[in-house]
Amino acid sequence: MIVMEFNLDNLVRENIKKMTAYSSARHEFSGNASIFLDANENSFGSPIVLPSPHHCEPGEAREGSGVRFNRYPDPLQLEVKDKLSKIKGVPPQNIFLGNGSDEVIDLLYRIFCEPGRDNVLIFPPTYGMYEVCAEMNNVKVKKVNLTDSFQLDIEKIENAIDAYTKLVFVCSPNNPTGNSINRTDIGVILNNFDGIVVIDEAYINYARQKTLIAELTEYPNLVVMQTVSKAWGLAGLRLGMAFAATPIIELMNKVKYPYNINTATQILALEALENIDWVNEHIATTVVEREKLKNELLQIPVTENVFPSDANFLLVKMKNARDIYEKLCEKGIIVRDRSKIVLCDDCLRITIGTPNENNQLAQELRNIKSD
């Protein structure tokens, strides 16, 4: 690849450069106040109250200390970002919070890709929303399949990139394969591509490989996505994180909806972020169970291969995978059939469950006769 000089201004759509961001009532005020008559809220309050994390023990609600929902939430989620800053070692101005990682993905398309003209690059098999968001935004998707070992094909990637390629999405650990992408190959792309490189680290907590967040100061074109849906066990909150250079974060804040993260999510996220020890304990348990389940599956006749995983799931090649999937469904055990996507012929993606759930799965698979 030819070494490029990264220029963010050349990537941003002209209409985004010219637009004026919506300024909410809370954007226009900073400081302390006790009377809010600025946002047409219901000043009499609301019937729903959550305990305040500042005044209550977990599960304890005290009169007068709760948070009501008649006020709009903090549009920039500053308290949550401050807490994340301490955990991740990243300044708050380098953090964006989205309504799930899907909002982050969609915003990147809307900021950097001119509909009907630009394109993005993805590496199947990978997370499906990269392509779905491209279709929604009328952006062409170029695909360079992973190698047979589920790694990047650097030579083909170089040939696929053109003057209209604005985004490259790399999922590491990858979904649905579970493996981490070679760090050297990621570095090659970051150093030689003059567009935005998005590293999706949804499963990084389960990986041996370290996060790329520490590389933000080195790469102005790097965006790292993480989530509280996996290791933090908060999929129901829909809270995604993006870490990037300040100019990119400022663009995301400019384009996002004003109150994209609701009050309840911010409160519950703050409470969860106080429980890192709980999270780390369950990560360790999941990693142990992952290895145990892998070994169990390799002893079952219908299993042909269990691929290496740095995630909280396993990609398992099985004899007649679709038939096995349906038989598990009949027993009330739901896994993900990935057998129709590229490089995943006859493969099921199996999430690591509790020890009891994993044992039940293994037992049902032992009862299935191989043809």
Q: Is the confidence at residue 4, as pLDDT, over 90?
A: no
Task: Tell me, yes or no, whether 45 lies in a domain.
Answer: no
125 sits in the region (left: phi over 0; alpha: psi -120 to 50; else beta) called beta
Provide the percentage of residues in the chain whose pLDDT is more than 90: 79
pLDDT, one tens digit per residue, over 14-53 is 888 887 876 665 665 566 665 565 555 654 555 566 666 5
Task: Tell me, yes or no, whether 49 lies in a domain.
Answer: no
What is the pLDDT averaged over residues 170-195?
A: 97
CATH number, domain of 225, equals 3.40.640.10
pLDDT at 5: 81
What is the pLDDT averaged over residues 222-250?
A: 95
Q: Is the confidence at residue 67, as pLDDT, over 80?
A: no
Residues spanned by the domain of 300: 277-366
For 254-278, b/e burial (b = at least 16 CB within 10 A) is bbbebebbbbebbbbbbbbbeeeee
DSSP assignment, residue 93?
G
343 and 351 Cβ atoms separated by less than 8 Å:
no
**Beta strand spans in the chain (E):** 49-51, 66-68, 95-98, 119-122, 140-143, 165-171, 196-200, 222-227, 240-244, 303-306, 313-318, 336-337, 347-351
pLDDT at 52: 64
Q: Is the confidence at residue 63, as pLDDT, over 50?
A: no
Q: Residues 6 or more apart from 327 whose CB is under 8 A from it?
A: 364, 368
Task: Tell me, yes or no, whether 62 lies in a domain.
Answer: no
Q: CA angle 188-190-191, nearest 5°?
A: 65
One domain, residues 320 and 239 = no
One domain, residues 239 and 311 = no
pLDDT at 69: 85
Q: Which has the higher per-residue pLDDT, 37 or 156?
A: 156
Q: 55 pLDDT band (50/70/90 cuts)?
A: very low
One domain, residues 257 and 284 = no
Task: Tell me, yes or no, whether 39 lies in a domain.
Answer: no
One domain, residues 149 and 228 = yes
Task: Tell me, yes or no, whether 1 lies in a domain.
Answer: no
One domain, residues 264 and 175 = yes
Q: Indicate the residue type of 186.
A: I
Pairing mode of beta strands 313-318, 347-351: antiparallel
Question: Mean pLDDT score of the chain, rounded to an integer?
Answer: 90
Angstrom distance (rounded) from CA 285 to CA 293: 12
One domain, residues 104 and 186 = yes
What is the pLDDT averaged over residues 125-129?
A: 96
One domain, residues 241 and 310 = no
Q: 56 pLDDT band (50/70/90 cuts)?
A: very low
One domain, residues 114 and 211 = yes
Domain count, the chain: 2
Task: Tell me, yes or no, whether 242 lies in a domain.
Answer: yes
Q: 150 pLDDT band (50/70/90 cuts)?
A: very high
Q: Select from 257, 267, 214 the least CA-distant residue to 237.
A: 267
Q: How far apart are the first and last CA of the chain?
A: 48
Task: Tell me, yes or no, whether 63 lies in a domain.
Answer: no
Q: Which of 274, 291, 317 is the last residue of a domain?
A: 274
pLDDT, one tens digit per residue, over 264-299 is 999 999 999 999 999 999 999 999 999 999 999 999
One domain, residues 317 and 208 = no
Provide the percentage of residues in the chain whose pLDDT is more than 70: 86
Burial of 338 (0-12, 13-18, 19+ CB in 10 A): buried
Q: Is the confidence at residue 204, as pLDDT, over 60?
A: yes
CATH number, domain of 353, equals 3.90.1150.10
One domain, residues 299 and 199 = no
DSSP assignment, residue 87?
H
Task: Tell me, yes or no, whether 29 lies in a domain.
Answer: no
Q: 178 pLDDT band (50/70/90 cuts)?
A: very high
pLDDT at 22: 64
pLDDT at 17: 87
Q: Which of 257, 274, 291 is the last residue of a domain?
A: 274
One domain, residues 80 and 221 = yes
Render 196-245 in DSSP notation, one character per residue.
Answer: EEEEE-TTGGG-SSPPSGGGTTT-TTEEEEEESSSTT--GGG--EEEEE-
Q: Select from 193, 189, 213 the least CA-distant residue to 96.
A: 213
Calculate the dihedral angle through the C-alpha atoms of 348, 354, 356, 357, rounding to the nearest 10 degrees: -30
Angstrom distance (rounded) from CA 198 to CA 126: 13
168 and 134 Cβ atoms separated by less than 8 Å:
no
pLDDT, one tens digit per residue, over 98-124 is 999 999 999 999 999 999 999 999 999
Angstrom distance (rounded) from CA 80 to CA 54: 13
Angstrom distance (rounded) from CA 174 to CA 263: 32
Angstrom distance (rounded) from CA 70 to CA 37: 12
Helices (H) and strands (E) in the chain, counts: 12, 13
One domain, residues 264 and 282 = no
Give the three-state DSSP class for 62. Answer: coil
Q: 131 pLDDT band (50/70/90 cuts)?
A: very high
Q: Which of 274, 300, 330 is the last residue of a domain?
A: 274
